[in-house]
Amino acid sequence: MPRPGAFGSSLADLASYLLTNGPRKVYPASRRVRVIHNHTTIVDSTKAVHVWEHDGYPQFYFPLSELKNCSKRDIQLVRSDGVARAAVVEVTIPSRNGIKETKTDRVIRFTDDRSLGALSGLVRLEFGAMDQWLEEDVPVYVHPKDPFKRIDILPSSRPIEVRVEGR
């Protein structure tokens, strides 16, 4: 069996696996994360969450409200204990400026059910199905970096303020 969440694997199976077993670990991301698809920024968020679906490395999940400039439609409900608690979602990015409309069904949405714990209300965009990911202003390739295995200092266009002893 491939690793849960492997590129191109069944997202319904991944959602079911996470509903049954839960994620290995969940940790808030401290950086601004952007997702660009079809020349459109569909996520620009400081509310990203690292979710470890397996022990190898994390994926970015976002609150559903952070998904912008697109429409969403559930195409396959995923049930746990007979209740729909997740869905595979088709995301449509409308045409604009001569760029044709595009759709992807490589998205999972978890319901706002508090019994889901850290996954409640989150959405997962398959990393390889999106055109570009950015942490701050730096492109991310293959998958998000594990914040527990490396320390990175990235260029950012966000303003920062450094204080020493409150000054």
148 within a domain of the structure (yes/no)? no
At 87-121, the pLDDT tens digits run 999 999 999 888 999 999 999 999 999 999 999 99
Question: Rounded to whole angstroms, how far apart are CA atoms 30 and 50?
Answer: 10
Mean pLDDT for 19-29 is 95
152 within a domain of the structure (yes/no)? no
24 within a domain of the structure (yes/no)? yes
133 within a domain of the structure (yes/no)? yes
At 49-93, the pLDDT tens digits run 999 999 989 999 999 999 999 999 999 999 999 999 999 999 999
Do 7 and 127 touch, CB atoms closer than 8 A? yes
67 within a domain of the structure (yes/no)? yes
Do 45 and 32 touch, CB atoms closer than 8 A? yes
Residue 26, CB-side half-sphere exposure with 13 Å CA sphere? 14
Of 115, 124, 104, residue with least CA distance to 48: 124
pTM score: 0.86
- What is the span of the domain harbouring residue 52? 11-140
**Which CATH number covers residue 26?**
2.170.150.40
160 within a domain of the structure (yes/no)? no
- Sequence-distant (≥ 6) Cβ neighbours of residue 61 within 8 angstroms: 48, 49, 50, 51, 119, 122, 123, 124
1 within a domain of the structure (yes/no)? no
Confidence check: pLDDT of 28 > 80: yes
- Our count of domains for the chain comes to 1
Which pLDDT does position 96 carry in this prediction? 86
158 within a domain of the structure (yes/no)? no
Identify the residue whose tokens are 């952007």. 34
Residue 160 CB neighbours (<10 A) = 5
